[in-house]
Amino acid sequence: MIPLLLLALAEGALRLAGFHYAPRQKVLWTPTIAGYDGTLEYRLPTFLDPPGYLWRTQPNTPFTDADGFRLPGLSPVPEPGRIRIAFLGGSTTQGQRHPYPERAIRILNEALGTDRFEALNVGGSSYSTHQSLLALPRWVLARQPERVCVYHGWNDWIVAEDGYADAEKDSLVPLSQSAGNWKQALGRRFRLFQGVARLVDALDVSWPRPRVAPERFERNLRSMAQLCAAQGKELVVFTRPPLVLDPLPPNEPRAHDQCLDVQRRVAATEPNVRLFDADAIARGLQARWETGEFGPGAQLHQPDGLHFRPLGEQLFAEQLALFLAPEQAESIRRYLAGSDYALATARQLLEELMPREAAWFLRKVLAQEPDHPEARALLDEATRQFEFADLFWQGCWGGSDPNFESKLGKLKRCQEIRPDDFGVCQQIAFVCFHMDRPGEAAAAMKGFRPANPEDHYRWAWLAFQSHVAAQRLPEAIQAARLRLQLDPTDAEAGEFLRDVQAPPR
């Protein structure tokens, strides 16, 4: 009884003193995958997939296969004669609508007149080498790739919001819900627990820690090399390109140099590792962009200065294709210099709403064949899209224009040009919602003219959210009724109408 009494006295003393402390909590964070299909922004959830702190993307979507990996879906093992190349990395590898692995494999197949090459893209948004090391034996090597490419270096150096390393969270994943619950319950209830937690946190002088420390980063790469070597596979390590921002974050130059040192050291000392110098390639592309080679307004990087836009992805993929098949370099270069490749790339860039970048490829064709009819027609189409694309990429959520009023004005102009484009309508709503002006979305979207019932329903859903946020009850009721009219199974709209129309008690 004496120890219990002493604990009770300590608890009472802390309460009388007004002591309170919120213990640090490890957070098992997972990302939402976002990208663009034309103007339409898609968002895919991810889910934890233990053992270990690892996640996968929602499977069976227009962008993912049955395992949550990037399409196209592949057979469990390569068919005879196929050359499977696996790709691991973060969001730069998982990519947008057409990531660089898909582009590089297409170049190889078309340049060499074959369909033997195939990409197994197991990249995941926000993956560090910690996640890729877990994924390699579990999901990659069992699918028998000829070689494995690893593209890392940004996420490892990041300090997560909770300040803990990825490896510290492995054991929490199976117990994530219960572990969080009992700690939170004790933390809310007992000041003594808070006091012990404060002491433990104070003794943890290395906190906050990067997700993967440099020495662990090197161990992870070496472990990947050894896992591949045990199966006779080559590991290709991509060097980390620099951030293209002005000014750079204070620690960025040092982190970049540290990362390159590790990657080069691993490649020099592990016999089955080759180095793909993505750093040099990205610097070369940036230098070409700065000279204006790609034309006014062409975009190489996204505004974050890290991820490539489609033009950057395509030019990066060209160099990767040459690296992956050096014995076929002459055939690949000949294909890349030809009109067929430039026309096919321009068509895809137009689908990706990159008309200025498409125009660069088309001008290359016209420089060789001034009277090429398809190139001339596509260039005219690209030129007509310049205004719309410029305004859209500046005004969209995450676009280069930071000002709310300016962003909204640009998107409204896009809506005037394409009144039936739901992607524009969606971005108007996203800008309003994410910039704390949700009530303005409904009025700003009034110019939308839905082309089909699905888009009409999605517009009604966004308008409903805007009216609710602004507490415009009559308008919210009207939007909810429209939602039910378009989709009688809409449970949210039905419940809302029952609540607001129920007689007062």
Q: For the segment 371-382, what is each residue's pLDDT rounded down to a tens digit?
A: 999 999 999 999
CB neighbours of residue 70 within 10 Å: 24
Residues 313-337, mean pLDDT to the nearest whole number: 97
pLDDT at 179 over 80: no
What pLDDT sits at residue 89? 98
Residue 194: pLDDT band (50, 70, 90) is confident
pLDDT above 60 for 407: yes
pTM for this prediction: 0.92
Q: Of all residues in the chain, what percent carry a pLDDT higher than 70?
A: 96
Domain positions in the chain: 2-28+161-203, 33-158+212-336, 342-383, 418-501
DSSP per-residue codes, 248-286:
PPTTHHHHHHHHHHHHHHHHHH-TTEEEE-HHHHHHHHH
Burial class of residue 37, CB neighbours in 10 A (0-12, 13-18, 19+): middle
Indicate the average pLDDT of the chain. 93
Say how far apart CA 130 and CA 147 lie, in whole Å. 19
pLDDT of the residue at 6: 74
pLDDT for 188 equals 61
Beta-sheet pairing, 273-276 with 147-151: unpaired
Average pLDDT rounded to a whole number, residues 417-437: 97
pLDDT (0 to 100) of residue 186? 58
pLDDT of residue 190: 75
Per residue in 387-400, pLDDT (tens digit) is 999 999 999 999 99
pLDDT of the residue at 181: 56
Q: Are 431 and 424 in contact (CB under 8 A)?
A: no
Tens of pLDDT, residues 260-299: 999 999 999 999 999 999 999 999 999 999 999 999 999 9
- The string of pLDDT tens digits covering residues 3-41 is 778 777 877 776 777 778 788 889 999 999 999 999 999
Topology (CATH) of 418-501: 1.25.40
Confidence of residue 485 (pLDDT cuts 50, 70, 90): very high
- Taken as a whole, the chain contains a residue count of 505
Antiparallel, parallel or unpaired: β 40-44 and 33-37: antiparallel
With residues binned 3-state (H G I as helix, E B as strand, rest as coil), the percentages for the chain, rounded to 5, are 55, 10, 35
pLDDT digits (tens, 9 = 90+) for 107-135: 999 999 999 999 999 999 999 999 999 99
**DSSP assignment of 33-62:** EEEEETTEEEEE-EEE-SSSS-EEEPSSSS
Task: Note the pLDDT tens digit of each residue in 231-242.
Answer: 999 999 999 999
Q: What pLDDT, on a 0 to 100 scale, did the predictor assign at position 175?
A: 61
pLDDT at 25: 87
Output the pLDDT for position 187.
Answer: 57
Architecture of domain 33-158+212-336: 3-Layer(aba) Sandwich (3.40)
Q: Does pLDDT of 183 surpass 70?
A: no
b/e code 283-308 from CB counts within 10 Å (16+ = b)? eebbeebeeeebeeebbbbbbeebbb
pLDDT classification of 1: cutoffs 50, 70, 90 = confident
Per-residue model confidence as pLDDT tens digits over 247-266: 999 999 999 999 999 999 99
CA dist 149 → 93, 169, 440, 450 (Å): 10, 26, 46, 43
Residue 462 has what pLDDT? Answer: 97
Could you tell me the pLDDT band of residue 318, with boundaries at 50, 70 and 90? very high
Nearest to 272 by CA among 233, 245, 304, 301: 233
* pLDDT for res 496: 94
- Look at residue 424 in the predicted model and tell me its pLDDT: 98
Digit-coded pLDDT (tens) for 77-89: 999 999 999 999 9
**What's the pLDDT band for 185 if we cut at 50, 70, 90?**
low
DSSP sequence for 325-360: -GGGHHHHHHHHTSHHHHHHHHHHHHHTT-HHHHHH
pLDDT score of 505: 52
Higher-confidence position of 117 and 177: 117
